[in-house]
Amino acid sequence: MSRDRHRGATLALIASWLVVGIPAAWGVVQVVAKSLALFR
């Protein structure tokens, strides 16, 4: 029971960070791709 709860909490933690991390990573990739023009 306790192990299941611990696993659930860990999954919730990972899922929470993915929800905010994926859009942030997409934004960073967009900016980096645009910035490459500066160094051409």
User: Which of 7, 8, 11, 13 is the binder for other proteins (CB under 8 A)?
Assistant: 13
Shortest Cβ distance from residue 24 to other proteins (Å)?
A: 5
Task: Decide: is 11 part of the binding site for other proteins (CB under 8 A).
Answer: no
Written as six digits, the tokens of 26 are 């997409």
Task: Decide: is 9 part of the binding site for other proteins (CB under 8 A).
Answer: yes
Residue matched to tokens 């192990």: 3
Task: Decide: is 7 part of the binding site for other proteins (CB under 8 A).
Answer: no
Written as six digits, the tokens of 39 are 């160094």
- As a whole number of angstroms, the distance between CA 24 and CA 32 comes to 12
* Residue 1 DSSP class: -
Task: Decide: is 30 part of the binding site for other proteins (CB under 8 A).
Answer: yes
